[in-house]
Amino acid sequence: MITRVPIPIVATHDVRRAGILIERGTRGEVTEMSGVPGQYTVRFWPFGLTGTTVVVDRLTRLDLTAA
């Protein structure tokens, strides 16, 4: 059985995907890693922890930093 532990991160710069703006400093968590060089799928909370989440894929290490 594999347990996945989300990796907490923050956006290092503004990211705009599909008409949604994820502002620099927005908290999130890596939900999947794939490819070489590494690409990440991240769940962000641009409206706070109780608001809607936004999932963004094909991010790189330059887009993220540890929270």
For residue 6, the cross-strand partners are none
For the domain spanning 7-66, the CATH number is 2.30.30
pLDDT in tens, 9-63: 999 999 988 788 899 999 999 998 887 778 999 999 888 878 888 899 889 989 9
Output 67 or 57, whichever has higher pLDDT.
Answer: 57
Q: Return the pLDDT at 17.
A: 80
Contact predicate 15/59, CB 8 Å = yes
Instruction: Work out the angle at residue 53's Cα, subtended by the Cα atoms of residues 56 and 62, and round it to the nearest 5 degrees.
Output: 35
pTM value? 0.80
